[in-house]
Amino acid sequence: MDDRQRDDTAARDEAATTAMINDRQDQDDAAALAQTLLASEHEVGSALATSQDVESSLAQLKHRVNSQPTVQHGPSPQHIQHDPQDRSGARLMFVELRKLQDGSAEYAELRNQLVRMHLPLVEHLARRFRNRGEPLDDLTQVATIGLIKSVDRFDPERGVEFSTYATPTVTGEIKRHFRDKGWAVRVPRRLQELRLALTTATAELSQLHGRSPTVHELAEKLAISEEEVLEGLESANAYSTLSLDVPDTDDESPAVADTLKAEDEGLQGVEYRESLKPLLESLPPREKRILLLRFFGNMTQSQIAQEVGISQMHVSRLLARTLAQLREKLLVEE
């Protein structure tokens, strides 16, 4: 006997039981009404039953009749209610879902009930990927999207359990989330897949040789060039980033940014050098040569005099005059 026949048998038994209860209530009500009518002709204690007593009894009888539940014989399959905790009824619910029109209120209600029924599966699969840099709540939401897709695509006529069908879909949705959203720096998909392959190959070779594999061994294992192996290893650094404000080793150590910076002693002279360039270009050739020999060639005034062909006194006067002009022009620009 299938489930539908058992439901029909249970409905008929319930209807027979209800009818027996109703007959017994009708008999009790009729007896009470008869006593009330007889009391209208005979004394009951010191008072007589009046017409108000009869009307009250009739009103009570009418209220009982109207409040009796209506028994439906042969319930429609579309209105069969299943216990959300009964996983054995999930297949029947999927069969009913495929019979309903997509977009109708009944379809949406039954679809939501199926999704809520299988939320424990979503939470179980999401917990398998926790502690990998993504919040568990985000993973649960992503897994729920995969569950909804599974409910929409599942075909109960294929003879497989829904959990068997939904597990790869939900897991794939979570892995796709890690691939698209888990990287701190966006890298091409080719490098993402190469990183996964390198991770697997590294684990296998480390277990085989008892040490970390070399770049050459990884290249032979994956049948790729050593340059591609190095590129894949470098791309792995883009998966997660480290804040510059985080301590280097422990809480008492300085931040990473404090260990990277250094004072540039020549930074203060950059502005003066950039301001002097156009002024030096405007000097006459002899004065410019004398300045170059004195400050860039580290020559004395006597050596400059011999190089230029003038006296040392003349070199001293030219240097003093040229430096005064440059100093004055720099002060004017400031």
The Cα 137–Cα 37 span in angstroms is 71
Cα–chain-centroid distance for residue 199? Answer: 24
Instruction: Give the residue, 103 or 226, on which the prediction is more confident.
Output: 226
Instruction: Give the residue, 193 or 259, on which the prediction is more confident.
Output: 193
Instruction: Give the residue, 331 or 64, on which the prediction is more confident.
Output: 331
> Which positions ≥6 away from 162 have C-beta within 8 Å?
90, 91, 94, 118, 150, 154, 156
What's the confidence (pLDDT) of residue 94? Answer: 86
Q: Look at residue 225 and give its three-state secondary structure.
A: coil
> Which positions ≥6 away from 238 have C-beta within 8 Å?
183, 184, 185, 187
- The CA–CA distances, whole Å, from 40 to 28, 62, 189 equal 19, 20, 95
pLDDT in tens, 159-177: 888 888 999 999 999 988 8
What would you report as the CA-atom Rg of the chain, rounded to the nearest whole angstrom? 47
What's the confidence (pLDDT) of residue 140? Answer: 92
What's the confidence (pLDDT) of residue 95? Answer: 85
The pair of structure tokens assigned to 294 is 């004195």
Given a contact cutoff of 8 angstroms between Cβ atoms, the answer to whether 235 and 197 are in contact is: no
The identity of residue 293, as a single letter, is: L
Number of other CB atoms surrounding residue 68 within 10 Å: 12
% of the chain with per-residue pLDDT over 70: 68
What's the confidence (pLDDT) of residue 78? Answer: 42
Q: What are phi and psi of 279, to 5 degrees?
A: -70, -40
* pLDDT band with cut points at 50, 70 and 90 for residue 250: low
Given a contact cutoff of 8 angstroms between Cβ atoms, the answer to whether 235 and 183 are in contact is: no
What's the confidence (pLDDT) of residue 214? Answer: 92
Q: What is the mean pLDDT of residues 288-302?
A: 89
Instruction: Give the residue, 152 or 267, on which the prediction is more confident.
Output: 152
Instruction: Give the residue, 21 or 315, on which the prediction is more confident.
Output: 315
Residue with tokens 């301590």: 247
Most confident of 4-8, 42-46, 113-117: 113-117
On average, the pLDDT of the chain sits at 75
Q: Please say if the pLDDT value at position 46 is more than 50.
A: no
What's the confidence (pLDDT) of residue 132? Answer: 78
The Cα 202–Cα 218 span in angstroms is 7
DSSP label at residue 156: G
The Cα 160–Cα 86 span in angstroms is 17
Q: Please say if the pLDDT value at position 260 is more than 60.
A: yes
The Cα 177–Cα 138 span in angstroms is 10
* pLDDT band with cut points at 50, 70 and 90 for residue 65: very low
Q: Look at residue 48 and give its three-state secondary structure.
A: strand
Which of these ranges, 78-87, 90-99, 147-156, 206-215, has the smallest mean pLDDT?
78-87
Q: Look at residue 3 and give its three-state secondary structure.
A: helix
Q: What is the mean pLDDT of residues 237-250?
A: 70
What's the confidence (pLDDT) of residue 72? Answer: 42
pTM, rounded to two decimals: 0.41
The Cα 322–Cα 334 span in angstroms is 19
Q: Look at residue 129 and give its three-state secondary structure.
A: coil
Instruction: Give the residue, 48 or 269, on which the prediction is more confident.
Output: 269
- The CA–CA distances, whole Å, from 97 to 102, 115, 292 equal 9, 12, 92
Q: What is the mean pLDDT of residues 262-291?
A: 82
Most confident of 32-36, 80-84, 298-302: 298-302
